[in-house]
Chain A
Amino acid sequence: MTTITFRDVEQLSASLDGQLSQAEKMRLEARIQLDPALSATLLDLQQARAILRRTPKRRLPRNFTLTPRMAGIRPPIPRLVPVFSWASAVAMLLFVLTLGTNLLGRLSIGASAPMMVAAPLANESFGGGSPPATQAPASDNTQAIPTAETLINTAPEATPPGEARLAPPAGPPATKAATEPVKIWSYIWLGLAVLLIAVALLLHRASVLAFRRRVDGKHNK
């Protein structure tokens, strides 16, 4: 009986797995037959290996398949989706601008009308000038508004060139009062336009994300 070295253990272990050459295997087998310590060690290794091979396989707690999100893949979006969503954002922008321009235009015309009417009023108060070309009562500012066309046509005729400079004294208070609402409305419209554009962009982003989530969800099923 000889002392077993680690080299012997290595050879015995490798022989269990068929990792020895034919010559090595024959030499080892001859030694095992002569040495009971070697055969006992071989048995030990054999048992350890056999017990390990009996280790139960555990059932999987879940599947480990990857979702596109796990894999870092962004799901492809059909080409028309961004086109449509951008188209709706642009449409909303144009709508807001058109509406805003239209309303601001009306307001500015409405606001400038009293100024124009103020000229004949000033003429009358100074006792000179020709009678008003139209029948519209000059004292009632609200009734002077009816049509912008009338006002534009009447104002130059009503004020002769020489007396036009008399009109300004009545002008300033009326101009200040009239431009205030225009300014406020222009700010409101600007803010509203920015807000609506932001909403449109957010909706665009949300629709893209919702689409991706739906694709992800479909992939998980």
Chain B
Amino acid sequence: MDEPALIRDAQHGNLDAFNTLVLTYQAIVYNTALRILGDEDLAADASQEAFISAFRALNSYRGGSFRAWLLRTVTNACYDELRRKQRRPTTPLEPGTEDGDDIETPRWLADPNASPEEQLDQAELEHAIQHCLENLPTDFRAVVVLADIQGLNYTEVAAAVKKPLGTIKSRLARARLRLRECLQSFRELLPAAFRLVEERGL
């Protein structure tokens, strides 16, 4: 894929070229939105919104990492969504027990390719990670999702959240520490390898 050529064509209004870029980056965009927002439907809406905004603002792209530029758009869409959510809080329609408690590992989280036991472990780990991520301030969450979950380097993260490198370093360190503390409360859910390391460490 000749990315610069596709970007150039898209900047001239070629929608097919832009859609080729969408197909390339939609997974990273959607998963970033999902980890920041913690809701599939909101993440899908934010992703779609981000691609629409990206197409309209494509002429403001002045080179550099296109992935980071696109992720900045989706991060902004997520911030907007979180602000909207704060203004109008809603009750999630998640499956619950007869007593009214939420089921922590609903079936719709399962990956159909894994065995039932693996599915359960994976779903619980994912739930634990998502829970800890949601306890972080939004700015820290975005940085840790981009750097540790999506694997962007510091420069790309800085471009994506429009903050200097020093801020990224600092936010990432704080976020990792807080996550580590939070994840310790889900110790039994962590993969065996991490539990052993932790026990050695203690």
Contacts and interface: CB of A to CB of B under 8 A. Distances in A.
A60 B30 contact: yes
Closest 5 CB pairs of A and B: A13-B173, A52-B148, A48-B180, A65-B19, A10-B173
Given A12-B173, A43-B201, A50 B40 contact: no
Where chain B touches its partner, the secondary structure class is helix
A38 B13 CA distance: 54
Interface in B5-64: 13, 15, 18-19, 22-23, 26-27, 29-31, 34-35, 40, 44, 47-48, 51-52, 55-56
A149 interface: no
A61 B56 contact: no
B55 A45 contact: no
Interface residues of B, number: 49
A68 interface: yes
A43 B197 CA distance: 8
Given A53-B149, A57-B27, A66-B15, A14 B173 contact: yes
Given A43-B201, A44-B177, A52 B172 contact: no
A40 B199 CA distance: 11
Given A56-B126, A70-B52, A73-B13, A47 B173 contact: no
Contacts of A57: 27, 31
B151 A53 contact: yes
A17 interface: yes
Interface of B: 13, 15, 18-19, 22-23, 26-27, 29-31, 34-35, 40, 44, 47-48, 51-52, 55-56, 111, 122, 125-126, 129, 144, 147-149, 151, 153-154, 169-170, 172-174, 176-177, 179-180, 183, 190-191, 194, 197-198, 201
A64 B176 contact: no
Contacts of A43: 197, 201
Nearest to B114: A56
Where chain A touches its partner, the secondary structure class is helix
Contacts of B26: 60, 63-64
A213 to B, nearest CB: 17
Interface of A: 6, 9-10, 12-14, 17, 19, 40, 43-45, 47-58, 60-66, 68, 70-73, 219
B30 A64 contact: yes
A13 B172 contact: yes
A73 B191 contact: no
A47 B182 CA distance: 12
Contacts of A61: 30, 40, 44
A64 B129 contact: no
A48 B181 CA distance: 9
